[in-house]
Amino acid sequence: MSLIGRRTALSLRRQRRHSRISISTSSILDSIKQDKPQTSLLDDKVDIAIIGGGIAGTSLAYHLAKQSNKKVVLLEKSELTAGSTWHAAGLVTLYHPGINIKRLHWHSLNFYVQVEKETGQQIGFHQPGSLRLATNQVRLDEMKYQMTRAGWNKNPQKLVTPEECKELCPLMDIEAANVIGGLFSPCDGHIDPYSLTQAIAIGARKHGAKLHQKTEVTKLDLKNDGSWDIGTNQELSTQVLS
């Protein structure tokens, strides 16, 4: 077989693998009875299935749908944010000594602002900034180390002197607290995790992802060809390319 012939055959095989989704008639009838959007159950191709509609799954759905032309589906057994996202304290920070996590934090801070603008869904993002205090040399060294990681992504975080700490927080007695330095992160703040997840979900849908709530994944079978069979309580049986 020629190279082009092999490619065509491979592509045809991939297309066939994508299209193996079966939906039982009863689940469609159930969805009509329960007034659910039945069209969302009628996809015949799924490239990516995400299980769980917390902040992680929803954000994954947004980014994958936006950055690829793949069919993305999210399956949530209850409703979006029903898990620990709903209980989250809501603090967001840029502080982290690891380069990759720090990059993710920086992306997140910018993404939250962008997704609010993009979707019009308010997320309750307040950014008063955060001031971390060092009252011993070990803590100050840790802050300096953290700042060496900041160079990988330019951002407004900076080390501050005890006097600058006082300016930022005039009520503080820096002598009594033995403050020898601090780290100021002006972008840090607080977000309502529920509203944020809903905003990201709106964006994910806008970019083509399908989000199914009240859909619990009950079965995951890895097939010999590397794809997955996913069973749910909605009797939606999906095959996904690994």
Ligand X SMILES: Cc1cc2nc3c(=O)[nH]c(=O)nc-3n(C[C@H](O)[C@H](O)[C@H](O)COP(=O)(O)OP(=O)(O)OC[C@H]3O[C@@H](n4cnc5c(N)ncnc54)[C@H](O)[C@@H]3O)c2cc1C
Quick one: which of 51, 99, 159, 168 contacts ligand X (CB under 6 A)?
A: 51
Quick one: which of 57, 181, 182, 203 contacts ligand X (CB under 6 A)?
A: 57
Tell me: does residue 53 bind ligand X (CB under 6 A): yes
Residue 5 is which amino acid?
G
Q: Distance between CA atoms of 114 and 76, rounded to whole angstroms?
A: 25
Q: By C-beta, is 166 or 205 nearer to ligand X? A: 205
Q: Is 134 helix (H, G, I), strand (E, B) or coil?
A: strand
Tell me: does residue 128 bind ligand X (CB under 6 A): no
Q: Position of tokens 């989250």?
A: 88
Segments in 68-215 forming alpha helices (H): 99-119, 137-150, 162-168, 193-206
Tell me: does residue 9 bind ligand X (CB under 6 A): no
Span near ligand X by CB under 6 A; candidates 77-85, 142-150, 164-172, 234-242? 77-85
Report how far apart, in Å, the C-alpha atoms of 5 and of each of 2, 10, 13, 39, 187 are. Answer: 5, 9, 12, 36, 54
Tell me: does residue 92 bind ligand X (CB under 6 A): yes
Q: How far is the CB of 84 from ligand X (least distance, A)?
A: 4
Report how far apart, in Å, the C-alpha atoms of 212 and of each of 49, 115, 126 are. Answer: 11, 21, 30
Span near ligand X by CB under 6 A; candidates 1-9, 63-71, 72-80, 157-165? 72-80
Q: By C-beta, is 73 or 92 nearer to ligand X? A: 92
Tell me: does residue 48 bind ligand X (CB under 6 A): no
